[in-house]
Amino acid sequence: MPGNSTSIMFFCVYILLGFKDNKHYIGYISNPRKKLEEHKLGPVNSIN
């Protein structure tokens, strides 16, 4: 149909295990490369 568009978005789901508290952290992100680069730049204060 003309004028109709469909967008597809991809997300990565992750599960992390905290070393200090031994808890699982579950999240998702649409741009894993950007997040990896942020982590390479230095420590992060929270998991987003």
Q: Which residues contact 36 (CB under 8 A, 6 or more apart)?
A: none
For the cut 70, the answer to whether the pLDDT of residue 47 exceeds it is no
Residue type, 29: I
Q: What's 30's DSSP letter?
A: S
Q: Using CA atoms, how far apart are residues 31 and 10, in angstroms rounded to an integer? A: 9
Q: Which residue has the higher pLDDT, 9 or 46?
A: 9
Kind plus residue range of the DSSP H or E element containing 38: helix 32-41
* Mean per-residue pLDDT, 14-27: 88
User: Nearest CA to 28 among 11, 44, 16, 45?
Assistant: 11
* Mean per-residue pLDDT, 6-34: 88
User: Nearest CA to 28 among 10, 6, 8, 7?
Assistant: 10
